[in-house]
Structure formats: structure tokens, C-alpha cells
Amino acid sequence: MELLILTAICGLVGLGCVGGAAWAIVGGEDVGVERIFLVMVWLLFAALFLGLAAWVARQGPLRSLGKKSPPQPEQKEEAVGKSA
């Protein structure tokens, strides 16, 4: 459960950083070194947090979300007995 919460928090912070970078690009009136540096820092933090969220999701309980589990041996024997 903790890994799911960590993944959600890291994902939200990463998306917030992407939004901050977009705000720095769109919302700024003057173009200068400060704006470029601000965008680079926002995107660096976004990559860090979104990468961490993806890594935790792939290593944690979300890795088996899309996989189908094979039937258990007891279920195979029951299925064979029912079909005969």
C-alpha cells in the first residue's frame, strides 16, 4: 500500500513540475537566462519524479497489473474431470 501511495505522490509532483515548466515558458514576459534556467530545473525535477514513479511502479505491486495469472494445477485437474 505504501508503494502505491509513493507512486501516486511522485507522479503528481512530476506532473506539477511539468506544469511549472509550462508556466515558465508561457507565463514569462521577458526572455532571458533566468527563464531558461527555470525551465531546465523544472524539467529536471519532472524527469526525476516521473522516473522514480515509473521505477517504483515497475518494481512494486503494479508490475503484475496487466499480466494474466496461469491457472493453478488443481484447477486444471478439475477442468479435465468436468469435461470427461
- Angstrom distance (rounded) from CA 11 to CA 51: 9
- Angstrom distance (rounded) from CA 80 to CA 84: 6
C-alpha cell at 11: 507522479
Band the pLDDT of 76: cuts 50, 70, 90.
Answer: low
pTM of the complete model: 0.66
Helix (H) or strand (E) holding 62: none
Answer with the residue of higher pLDDT: 61 or 1: 1
Answer with the residue of higher pLDDT: 42 or 74: 42
C-alpha cell at 18: 511539468
